[in-house]
Structure 1
Amino acid sequence: MNVALASLPAEPGQANEDFAAAAAGAAVLLDGAGVAGAETGCTHGIAWFSSTLGGLLLSTMTAHPAQPLAECLADSIRVVRSLHEDSCDLSYRASPTSTVVAVRADAGALEYLVLGDSTLLLADHDGKTTAITDQRLDEVGKRLRGPVDALATGSPEHAAALAEYRDSLTGLRNRPGGFWIAGPHPQAAGHALVGAVPLDTLASVTLLSDGATRLVDSFELATWEGMLAVLGLSGPAELIHRVRAAEADDPDGRRWPRGKAQDDATVVHWTLS
């Protein structure tokens, strides 16, 4: 198993709310989130939530290889809930949540789970790529974020519109017609995208937070194939460096409207023999 991993917080010295880790034949990536400008109701914070859930999930899915990934995630969410439900208000509207991407190789197949707007990128031996992303959050967001995108990123007006937008999103979280994400309730795991592909068809498996996929899906400065070429030649750190360079060229979000000028960015690139 040949895995390269890189992760950077949105700003130096700021907590990184992404989490990624790998074990023999398995990897996870989580992108933690709250509601902009709101208290989480959790004394531990978003980074604690994503890293604790991610560590438990990786442990569960490797210790129980026959257990479906969605069940592994549901069990891990239950354990995290038990760790802080007595000290934190998990009914609070801004309680920490996280996207989840998980992969596990077993019996000649790669099992995968995707929940939320992080991305799993599968590449075959001919260079063809398949990007698996849970689009439900984006579909809901497009209906609501027009006022946000019309304002300069980082301005007081943008911050106020962004807070209102995220507050509206919270009302659609983990309910039919909205979107699903890992939070206090294990039933969200049952709404994840899951599947399996033959392991011998794959050349690489890449897990990316949405802060890392900006180069392709937001900025349109690269294709998935071009991104893989960068990863193959220079590794995840170079890919994140290119994302940061593009963000620096558009600090006000005029060219590429976005919620944050910079975001936590994480890449796990697993090359198969």
Structure 2
Amino acid sequence: MALLDPIERGQRGLETEAEVAGRTAHEPATLFEQSWRDFVFAEVWTRPGLPRRPRFLVAIASAVTCGLQDSQIDDFVRGALKTEALTLAELREAALHLAVYAGWGNGGTLDRAVTRVAEELGLPPAEVPAICPDPWDPDVRSQRGHDEFAKVMTFAPGPPATPYLEGINNFVFGEMWCRRGLDEPSRRWITLVGVCESGAEIPIRSHIHAAISSGNCQPAEMLEFCLQYGTHAGWPKASRIQSVVLEMIDKVAKGLPWHAK
């Protein structure tokens, strides 16, 4: 096995940072900054196991939910736009999706970052359809939510017997997941960051299982997700998520539901 050359690694890190952030990369001034260049950018972002589009989605959502500075969030948004990994309209949809799975405060943080970067780059406003532009039949929306839940989660939901469950059925699945401005696999990656940050056991396990069993996220990509997520959330959180990912890969392969013992 050939030795890794520190100079080559540092140069690769600067080049990757410039591409990912959509700006000139600067030589690190501290040991912490050097770790971004030499590990996060030089090694993690250059791994082939996860394409750039999902890496950007995971990084953007994680940067927001894990409290990175506005400038760092802006870097990922700018890089996604300049590399054409994501469009402005898709980023607007991403902010809405993140609001649902990480709270409207975090969704607003991303939405403001998208606005800042769009203005910086001189982009025209994105054309996105309104959430619900026309009158609707409540029963139709409820049925649409039930059907979309079953497709996304790969199991049928129970009746929405509480206000919380009504919100999931009617808005989360009846309106948001039905929007086609952001494809289903992309919504998966944002959702995974949101549920992983929540620490809530049932959403973590059910959404990881659904991501794999739906075919939206391949097992190898899910393992790469754990590494990408870990660079923002930290190794302890990512360690827990990796254990669930490994468990759910096995359950899906055996045709078992997420809650099987």
TMscore range, shorter length: under 0.3
If the length of structure 1 is used for normalisation, what is the TM-score?
A: 0.25
More helix by share: 2
The structure where strand makes up a greater share of residues is 1
TM-score (norm 2): 0.26
Q: Structure with the greater relative contact order (CA < 8 A, sep ≥ 6): 1 or 2?
A: 1
Whichever of the two has the greater Rg, that structure is 2
